[in-house]
Structure 1
């Protein structure tokens, strides 16, 4: 080719590039990720999930611009085990000892942010940590102070994609007055049938609602900063909770009131606005999903499945069952659950102890008021649930007909086939994940009536 012809080809190529225009950010960069995780927030305690009074305009807007999951579940309803499970993409009993409250993740456990960091991401954890000291080094930065999240976005390295884990302490107990300028009132409370409708309970729920609204405001601040930096289209935002509300028959149970979670994903570049899915997903699915979206191979340690197909097609199905567990959390216990879209099957090993709520909920105005009603014989069967001894070995609930799980169908002949199927599903999962009952039981750490810590005898 002559020198003149080569020059003409180069000029034509250059003109072609100019006419094509610059590539979009979504085409040339990996997506950014922000995961918001609430502390003790029930799945239906937000406006977008149908609550008539809790003010959550920013969560509502997040869902309106993304996808709402109506069948998202946690692997347990206990703070640190749930978070460790999400981070490792493993069931709590497979995290090397982090299945019980406050047990740290061992150093040999792989957390998905470290794989993102290895792939060039800038990784941050800000807010509540609760994972133990051994995996702090897997993040580029760990900020334990609360509400420093906008600052993390402002000070990040501009040349790298980022992953940020923003962990609330709201709406965890204890509650205080004047949490928000316009507090919720007792009249705003929606009292589930397993709690007594008393002034003390309504006020307790209203205080819990206030912290959810405060949380919602922080979400709004972060979204606003993303918009200011023009990062909205290529940033995946996920919102979920670590367990159910801190009330009797909620947190630490493997009923839906404990393990079902609000779950919202916003990703304008990939997810159609205002979509809703009823596909089953588990919190251990978050790690492989984020890794796949980032183009990173998850590796063999992750037990979840990617729900990336659901984000492009709300009707897609990635699993038939979710599995949940309850281990020591203030009090000794061992429960397992296999859950389909319609049925929840629960197996309890320690039937000789009651299903006492966590110690902070035992100390709550709600539970203390329940003690008085129990003494007077005024609690309904559903409200007596935390006091029942012995507990049933097996429970089966039809969530379509009984969403609050008040009628145990395990002994009803019409459901014998369903019971046997769910038993088999749980048996197979326990065998596959090497899940066995401990040889020794860990004793209670708190008094089941007062919620006060039990001090070792001198």
Structure 2
């Protein structure tokens, strides 16, 4: 069905365009982007968790703005990062939409635009995808020693920034990615500190698994603090824009690789002295596809006309005025094949699944994890409830609709409820427009699984 052009203009991307609130005469700031690896949006004190030790993230939020409705375009590591750096949705990156796929050389990134405008650019920590991404930065630093969780070179990268240039730093942790080790931090979290979401069974194995995950978040927090301290020491804090996000949700069943809130909702904290009101919050929708145009706007650099996001800078000074009405997310191959799309408003999340014949198996590292292995045993014993069976059930629903305000864990699918038919039809239409305008596609063939869905062990390669 052809969608009228005027409707396309109204619906595409859900974006509402506003002018940059900053004056053109102001110089661009230094910019730091912190990226956690597999951290859920609400697993820190700044977002209300009562037990996870995150004093530095909490301080960052108290000095800046906390976004309560920030989303990723994909709950999968390399596609999410490729989307962030290009300002494009994963399927629109010419091949970087699946896990481990390299970012093609023809993709324009905001890092290159900042570099051309005189910024020194560096990446320290996790680099994924590796090929062609490294070429976008002036300098690449490693992850440091294993016990630093990928953050060991962060302060070095900051100290080595040239004094006569503004800088952009992409500081990427490997925490809290699996696998987990005990005694990651001096005072480890215990089972009593854990809050078990309702889609996971509340058993000791799950609590122990989550406690180790919490420990890695606290280790990450420590290194965020060291960077903040160095900014103060070098007297650069007042002229540095900081953004903290995660690349996808926690690596547990019904989280990472899903397009539920547990997969694609992200912590999103912005500190920019003199621009952002300390201790403020924003409840408007933002997407990580908006970071590229936003960083360019902050640096007074012309954005690429290939960016598919919108600048969120207006929200930094007026958090009540929306810049978009809808956000969109996708899930493609990640260890196991899948194809899902979603359209999210402030009140509802609409999910469309193409491969309904496949179960929602979590990533292979989570399959090997203690939580999923415990769930396999509980399933055999008939001790999992309906929402805890997501990873196993087939067929899955082709359409799902959730009231994320009144049902934040997305437990009750409203897609077949006639009371919500208008909301369902609206989000269907919005998603159809986005699919058409961004050139989205369903692959012609299925990609083989790389791991076993029960053990998480790598499968033999399929010969051509």
Residues in 2 aligned to 1:54 and 1:448: alpha-carbon distance in whole angstroms: 31
Residues in 2 aligned to 1:195 and 1:418: alpha-carbon distance in whole angstroms: 29
> Which residue of the partner structure matches residue 286 of structure 1?
291
> Which residue of the partner structure matches residue 13 of structure 1?
none
For 1:395, what is the secondary structure of its paired residue? strand
For 1:180, what is the secondary structure of its paired residue? coil
**The one of 346, 351, 356 aligned to 2:351:** 346
Q: Is the 8 A contact 2:62 2:279 kept in 1?
A: yes
For 1:387, what is the secondary structure of its paired residue? coil
Residues in 1 aligned to 2:155 and 2:141: alpha-carbon distance in whole angstroms: 12
Q: Does 1:456 align with 2:461?
A: yes
* Bigger mean CA offset, 235-244 vs 29-38: 29-38
Q: Is the 8 A contact 2:190 2:208 kept in 1?
A: yes
User: Could you tell me how far 1:29 is from its partner in structure 2?
Assistant: 4.1
Q: Does 1:397 align with 2:407?
A: no
Q: Does 1:130 align with 2:131?
A: no
Q: Is the 8 A contact 1:103 1:132 kept in 2?
A: no
**The one of 412, 415, 424 aligned to 1:410:** 415
- The equivalences for 1:65-76 within 5 A come to 65-76=63-74
* TM-score of the pair, normalised by structure 1: 0.93
Q: Does 1:83 align with 2:81?
A: yes
**Structure 1 residue ranges without an equivalent (≥5):** 1-25
Residues in 1 aligned to 2:57 and 2:130: alpha-carbon distance in whole angstroms: 29
Residues in 2 aligned to 1:30 and 1:256: alpha-carbon distance in whole angstroms: 33
* TM-score of the pair, normalised by structure 2: 0.92
> Which residue of the partner structure matches residue 245 of structure 2?
240
Q: Is the 8 A contact 2:27 2:300 kept in 1?
A: no
Which of the pair has more CA radius of gyration? 1
Q: Is the 8 A contact 1:80 1:130 kept in 2?
A: yes
Residues in 2 aligned to 1:251 and 1:391: alpha-carbon distance in whole angstroms: 17
Q: Does 1:310 align with 2:308?
A: no
For 1:344, what is the secondary structure of its paired residue? strand
> Which residue of the partner structure matches residue 8 of structure 2?
none
> Which residue of the partner structure matches residue 452 of structure 2?
447
Q: Does 1:188 align with 2:185?
A: no
**The one of 104, 107, 110 aligned to 1:109:** 107
- The equivalences for 1:213-232 within 5 A come to 213-232=218-237
Residues in 2 aligned to 1:79 and 1:392: alpha-carbon distance in whole angstroms: 25
> Which residue of the partner structure matches residue 12 of structure 1?
none
- The equivalences for 1:170-181 within 5 A come to 170-181=175-186
* Bigger mean CA offset, 134-143 vs 373-382: 134-143
For 1:250, what is the secondary structure of its paired residue? coil
In the TM superposition, what whole-angstrom CA distance separates every residue of 1:412-432 from its partner, at most 9, and x where no partner exists?
111111111111010010000
Q: Does 1:376 align with 2:381?
A: yes
Q: 1:228 to 1:419 in 2, by over 3 A?
A: same
**The one of 118, 121, 138 aligned to 1:120:** 118
**The one of 315, 319, 342 aligned to 2:324:** 319
* Bigger mean CA offset, 143-152 vs 91-100: 143-152
Superposed structure 1 runs of 4+ greater than 3 Å apart: 26-29
For 2:334, what is the secondary structure of its paired residue? coil
Q: How many residue pairs end up in the alignment?
A: 433
Superposed CA RMSD: 1.1
For 1:284, what is the secondary structure of its paired residue? helix
Residues in 1 aligned to 2:91 and 2:27: alpha-carbon distance in whole angstroms: 37
> Which residue of the partner structure matches residue 388 of structure 1?
393
